[in-house]
Amino acid sequence: MHDDIQTSIAAMRRFNRFYTKAIGILDDTYLRPDFSLAAGRVLYELAQDRTLTATQLREELHLDAGYLSRILKDFEKRGFIRRTPSLTDGRSRDLVLTETGRDAFRSLDALSQKEVGSLLATVPPADTPDLAAAMARIERILSRGGAAPVLRAPRCGDFGWVVQAHATLYAREYGWDERFEALVAEIVAAYIRNLDPQRERCWIAESDGRNVGSVFLVRESEDVAKLRLLLVDPSARGFGLGRRLVAECVDFARQAGYRRLTLWTQQNLEAARRIYAQAGFTLTRSEPYTGIGRDLISEYWDLDLVPACALS
């Protein structure tokens, strides 16, 4: 275990050295000569239209009190901020960004956008989604104490996201062609047209305002429901979200009075198959399938929702 920890520490330090060099952060005047990295971050926080005191800002950014005080005094001198009496604590003063300060932020933000854009221009377009997903995954792993994704009902635009997310992910990871996108679109369209709210449901998983997962429960017959379109974004993998989505389907199917829950998947989707097996589904049959651009083995899995003793 000690060796594993030391290996992880070495890997993280190596990545930090690489990343800070790649984005030029080692330069004390990163982006603009009149802004240190810390000063730029303080300006960013103040530009988010939040009411902050110096104490709150210091705690959020983990800055030395003296260092932050010097940054704020410089901002006042340059006309970037003004201090007003706090509405919640008479002993404190809120920091308010002036229009001059907002102009400075917009300039700094544009430079940052340009800098990151230049770096991404060196990345092959096919690798850009993987890069973004990897960075999001690092963020999530290092902030496991944060809130888990919220499962909610779909809103306007979510159904289009389901189609796009499935098509993009499965094309990139498995080489499935546009016929799979058409299949997903047909499933989603049929769900919208024929929705029975008492016996059918869709869940969207959302994290930090971003969609990261989906699953559908649709009616096959009076006694049988079907689990469809389970998806977990790569950035949200490894946190049990797939199991949560499947569990929601199973619980709802039982409450809706179905006696059996079925699903269709492919043999090469190993992570999904493990989730289904853990939820109690059993493989009932398989057959060759070539309808989405690859030679696959389709599988059909079932879950009995009525206990055996209830059937006797």
Are both 127 and 175 inside the same structural domain? no
Q: Are 132 and 212 in contact (CB under 8 A)?
A: no
User: Using one digit for the tens of pLDDT, what is the confidence trace for 194-215?
Assistant: 999 999 999 999 987 889 999 9
Boundary-marking domain end, from 78, 110, 142: 142
**pTM for this model (two decimals):** 0.60
**Same domain membership, residue 160 and residue 131:** no
Q: What is the DSSP letter of 134?
A: H
Please write the tens of the pLDDT for every residue from 147-202.
678 899 999 999 999 999 999 999 999 999 999 999 999 999 999 999 999 999 99
The yes-or-no verdict on residue 229 having pLDDT over 70 is yes
Q: Of 142, 166, 191, at which residue does a domain stop?
A: 142
Whether the pLDDT of residue 20 is over 90: the answer is no
Residues 61 and 101 in one domain: yes
| CA–CA distance, 312 with 308 (Å, rounded to integer) | 7
In which domain, by residue range, is 76 found?
2-142
Averaged pLDDT for residues 102-120: 85
Residue 143 is classified by DSSP as T
Cα separation, 280 vs 262, whole angstroms: 11
Residues 6+ apart with CB under 8 A from 99: none
95: how many CB neighbours lie within 10 A of its CB?
Answer: 25
Distance CA 241, CA 247 (A): 10
Find all residues with CB under 8 Å of 69, minimum gap 6, and list them.
Answer: 54
Look up the CATH number of the domain holding residue 92. 1.10.10.10
* Interval 17-37 mean pLDDT: 69
Phi, psi of 166 (to 5 degrees): -60, -50
Return the top range by mean pLDDT from 21-25, 126-130, 144-148, 267-271.
Answer: 267-271
Number of domains in the chain: 2
Termini Cα distance of the chain: 51
Mean pLDDT across the stretch 17-36? 68
| Greatest mean pLDDT range, 12-26, 107-121, 288-302 | 288-302
Structure tokens at 276: 């289904």
How many C-beta neighbours within 10 Å does residue 59 have? 11
Claim to verify: residue 222 and residue 120 sit in the same structural domain: no
Q: Which of 85, 109, 142 is the last residue of a domain?
A: 142
Amino acid 288: pLDDT: 96
User: How many Cβ atoms from other residues are within 10 Å of residue 309's Cβ?
Assistant: 6
Higher pLDDT, 36 or 229: 229
- Residue 29 pLDDT grade (very low, low, confident, very high; cuts 50, 70, 90): low
Exposure string over 232-267, b if 16+ CB within 10 A, otherwise e:
bbbbbbebebbebbbbbbbebbeebebbbbbbebbe
